[in-house]
Structure 1
Amino acid sequence: MSDINRPCIRRCSLNEEEICLGCFRTFDDMLRWNKASVEEKQEMLNIAERRKMEHAKK
């Protein structure tokens, strides 16, 4: 499996929970991204997508 590109859309703005309101990754996810395995990156993206959907409901 090939690597996964960063989901950054260059609209970084961290909320009070240190979640980026651009890509919905946590600050910790961003720091870990380059060393994470493809599986770990995919899991981060899955969780970020759920956060994005929850944010949209607010």
Structure 2
Amino acid sequence: MPPKRSLAPAASPPPRGLISSFYHGIKSPENASVVRSVAVFAIATAFLSSSWTDYLLPPV
């Protein structure tokens, strides 16, 4: 009779921390369009609330 083989259960990855899970969520290809949209919105809001918007006005 051959000896019995003991199969150890597959080790699960260690739980991620808050920052690590946030980083992996942002870098996920599934969320790329959402991350890009939020970034463009933040840049547009920062630009339009700054004094640089004077360059958008036509010269008088």
Give the TM-score range, shorter chain.
Answer: 0.3 to 0.5
Give the TM-score normalised by the residue count of structure 2: 0.35
Q: Give the structure, 1 or 2, with the largest relative contact order (CA under 8 Å, sep 6 or more).
A: 1
The structure with more radius of gyration: 2
Structure with the bigger percentage of helix: 2
